[in-house]
Amino acid sequence: MIPDMDTPKFVVSQDQGKWRGHLQGYPDYSAQGESFEELEFKLRQLHRDLAMGKPSNIRKIA
């Protein structure tokens, strides 16, 4: 099976019952959720926005 190159990689953590995370390589663009599922949904939306070029002043860490 060939891995999906469009699948975003997340960096997540849980602190005091809240989930926080950001897309790998984009620590300036983070999200927070009450559940892992909510956080994952928000991060996928963020990934879609970044792939579409929104916002245009994106800073990626290598």
Chain segment 23-40, per-residue pLDDT in tens: 988 888 889 999 999 999
Count of residues making up the chain: 62
**pLDDT value of position 1:** 42
**pLDDT value of position 32:** 95
What residue ranges of the chain have pLDDT lower than 50?
1-3
CA 59 to chain centre: 14
Report the mean per-residue pLDDT for the chain: 82
